[in-house]
Structure 1
Amino acid sequence: MRRRTLIGGLVGGFGAALGGRAIRAQQPAPEAGEIPKRAFGKTGVELTVIGLASGRFPLIASDEEAIALTRRAVELGINYFDTAHSYWGGHSEEIYGKVLPAVRQQVFLTTKSTQRTRREAEAELDLSLRRLGTDYVDLWQVHGIRNRGEVEQVFAPGGAIEAFEAAKKAGKCRFIGFTGHSDPEAHLAMLRAYDRWDSILMPLHVADPHFMSFERQVLPVAVERGMGIQGMKNLANAKLLQGFSVKECLSYVLSLPIHCTAVGCTTIGQLEDDVRIAQALEPLDDQRMAALRQRAEGLQGPQLEDWKEEPTKVGLLERPRYRGG
């Protein structure tokens, strides 16, 4: 399933609502260097407000196209590149490794580990660095935290936090953070457990405030702590395109008090669309944000956000394994 192809059943019959994606008018290529930047929390690093996420690379037809997409992102001035050890069985990191070493000092490179013990996380980081063709990443993240049980694993003796602290001390990463999209309570547990996170990555979009909301529960805490805040799932895996344009979705997310958001493009055309939106970004006022949230009420819930796992429906220790994204 491509990032901006609507999914049958829930979104069937809405092809015309793709906001110009289905039949894409010719537009001039955006110029490089005009993407707004924001300081990434207390890190002091200036990041473009959108960054290329490689989680969708398996949906691209070939390695050559994935490499071309990455190169185009660099050409357009994007400096924030998101990947993970688990994406495409490690091949997404290898794609970045074919492009980004040549511009290593110009880009902010992130990767992630799903391992919860020190030994396994350290092994993943070493392999990630080899794949990426670098001796350090700018940001290394505990990936896909789903519940309090995993939080306890991370902070147990011999837990992954030891690997993250050691990697930062050794210069294998500049900053450390964590990610997840299953349950805002798991994010809050990570924040309670540790006060030295540099960054956080969470799903943020126009329908999120209506159901198990990261925007309402987690975002204020991250803002208060001065963390580097990254968004993801801006389009809710394309499902929001049944009722919203890409511009509305990205404008909403980038009007929140965040620093950047990851965009999961699968074509250069999609990437250039997102860059045009970012270049012309005009943050929305409270009234317009509220109007968009109100429009999303009819879409909200577990059918739209099927990555969120309600504790009342699935036991905390019985949830399905993290599937990526």
Structure 2
Amino acid sequence: MQYRRFGRTEIPMPVFSCGGMRYQFKWQDVPAWTIPQNNQRNLEATIRRAIELGINHIETARGYGTSEVQLGRILPLGDRDRLIVQTKVNPSQNPNEFRQKFEQSLRNLRLDYIDLLGIHGINDAETLHQTIRPGGCLELARQWQAQGKVRFIGFSTHGATEIITQAIATNEFDYVNLHWYYINQVNWEAVAAANRHDMGVFIISPSDKGGMLYKPPQKLVELCSPLSPMVFNDLFCLSHSQVHTLSLGAAKPQDFDEHLKTLEYLDRADEILPPILARLEQAACDSLGEDWVKTWQIGLPRYDETPGNVNISTILWLRNLAIAYDLTEYAKMRYNLLGNGGHWFPGNQAKQIEQLDLRSCIANSPHADKIPAILAEAHKLLSGAEVKRLSQD
């Protein structure tokens, strides 16, 4: 395993982390005795495999259902000093609720302290305020830090780059969990800002949210050759020294195997990546038109500046992925989350786009005359059964 300095924490962080949201029994809390033995054995085998590989960062959250309780059956049995344990707790307007959730996390994990505590879901102005206001969640976390219950404090986010950079600019956090990978590079400004503040950078779900790369379409397989799409995406992320670790949401011990192939290429990324990147860009230009590929994002409004809160930029992005790379299943999954994802995936679909007057909000786009029709086309291509976040299922 290779390790990178995790910003100001000075922790030697493995370039792969063992994320804890795929191997648990349920997304809701249930009595511990109802957890099947075969599920628990699989989780424990996955953790043991991770540690054998040098992946000693185990990451979970209070919102991941039975994950913490199940980890609490194995983590205290290992060499605690070798482990980097991270859990995350959602901010709340009521600090007592935040306190109760953190104390529950400690009980579940059966640990005396957490190495990394993440404020889970600083996604908008409200959750940022709940965190950093006087008497808010961050103030409580500082108290736990002084008591030795927490070593370092960070935050996770699915929010807009503007919100992420505002949180980073407070200089109150030691690290950040965010989305950034090949198909979604909009948060690079936030990654760079985190590096300027010497924060650790943890990439959330690069294989799942990065395109459901555990079952890639054939077109993407061919474009990424000789690497698999999963290894290509890992290498793309880790070729940037500003990125410190990628979360691998392993569901079973074998799920690490494909990712591990990335390690042999890390010192040759400058040689291996350019031809693949060129093919991917050319495929997008061939499918969508070069002018569109280079300019589609210009002048687009935020979803809350759009009639009907239609998330124009996200919808166009998903349509691009479906057409350019055959990532249709991924695009449908994300598109049908719109309207159901709250501040984790905000905005609405283009369901009734013909009834909305978009002229003023897209006036600054070079494609203003085409966008309404493209949005209608995207809805026909991507609409389907309503999707909820995993924690809501």
Structure 2 stretches of 5 or more lacking a match?
A: 27-37, 222-228, 289-315, 320-330, 336-340, 351-386
302-311 or 117-126: which moved more? 302-311
* Matched residue SS, 2:247: strand
The corresponding residue for 1:246 is 230
**TM-score, normalised relative to structure 1:** 0.76
The corresponding residue for 1:70 is 47
1:220 partner letter: A
Task: Please say if 1:153 is aligned against 2:130.
Answer: yes
Q: Which of 179, 187, 194 in structure 1 is aligned with 2:164?
A: 187
The corresponding residue for 2:4 is 38
* Matched residue SS, 1:122: helix
* Matched residue SS, 1:239: coil
* Deviations 1:198-226, CA, capped at 9 Å, x for gaps: 000101211112xxx112x2111011111
Structure 2: distance between partners of 1:93 and 1:282? 36
Q: Decide whether the 8 Å contact of 2:201 with 2:243 is kept in 1.
A: yes
Q: Which of 97, 100, 104 in structure 1 is aligned with 2:75?
A: 100
* Deviations 1:207-266, CA, capped at 9 Å, x for gaps: 112xxx112x21110111111111122124453423252110111111122111110111
Cα deviation, residue 114, structure 1: 0.7
The corresponding residue for 1:235 is 207
Change in Cα spacing, 1:313 to 1:145, as seen in structure 2 (3 Å) is farther
1:93 partner letter: E
The corresponding residue for 2:381 is none
The corresponding residue for 1:112 is 88
Structure 1: distance between partners of 2:178 and 2:67? 20
* Deviations 1:163-202, CA, capped at 9 Å, x for gaps: 111111111110000001232222122123x212100010
The corresponding residue for 1:169 is 146
Q: Decide whether the 8 Å contact of 1:251 with 1:283 is kept in 2.
A: no
Q: Decide whether the 8 Å contact of 1:252 with 1:289 is kept in 2.
A: no
Cα deviation, residue 55, structure 1: 1.0
- How many residues are paired up? 279
Q: Which of 154, 179, 190 in structure 2 is aligned with 1:218?
A: 190
Larger radius of gyration: 2
Change in Cα spacing, 1:293 to 1:154, as seen in structure 2 (3 Å) is farther
* Matched residue SS, 2:207: coil
Structure 1: distance between partners of 2:349 and 2:142? 35
Pairing of 1:1-325 with structure 2 (within 5 A):
35-58=1-24, 62-87=39-64, 89=65, 91-101=66-76, 102-116=78-92, 117-192=94-169, 194-209=170-185, 213-215=186-188, 217-237=189-209, 238-240=211-213, 241-242=216-217, 243-244=220-221, 245-256=229-240, 257-278=242-263, 280-282=265-267, 284-285=269-270, 287=274, 290-291=277-278, 294=281, 297=284, 301-302=317-318, 304=331, 309=345, 324=391
Q: Identify, as 1 or 2, the structure richer in helix.
A: 2
Structure 2: distance between partners of 1:289 and 1:198? 34
* Matched residue SS, 1:57: coil
Q: Decide whether the 8 Å contact of 2:235 with 2:265 is kept in 1.
A: no
* Matched residue SS, 1:284: helix
Across the aligned residues of Structure 1 and Structure 2, the Cα RMSD in angstroms comes to 3.0
Cα deviation, residue 283, structure 1: 5.6
Change in Cα spacing, 1:145 to 1:168, as seen in structure 2 (3 Å) is same
1:207 partner letter: I
1:48 partner letter: P
Change in Cα spacing, 1:144 to 1:293, as seen in structure 2 (3 Å) is farther
Structure 1: distance between partners of 2:106 and 2:260? 28
Structure 1 stretches of 5 or more lacking a match?
A: 1-34, 315-319
* Deviations 1:88-117, CA, capped at 9 Å, x for gaps: x2x111222122222211111100001324
* Matched residue SS, 2:79: helix
Cα deviation, residue 281, structure 1: 3.0
Structure 2: distance between partners of 1:224 and 1:292? 32
Structure 1: distance between partners of 2:391 and 2:83? 23
Identity of aligned residues (%): 24
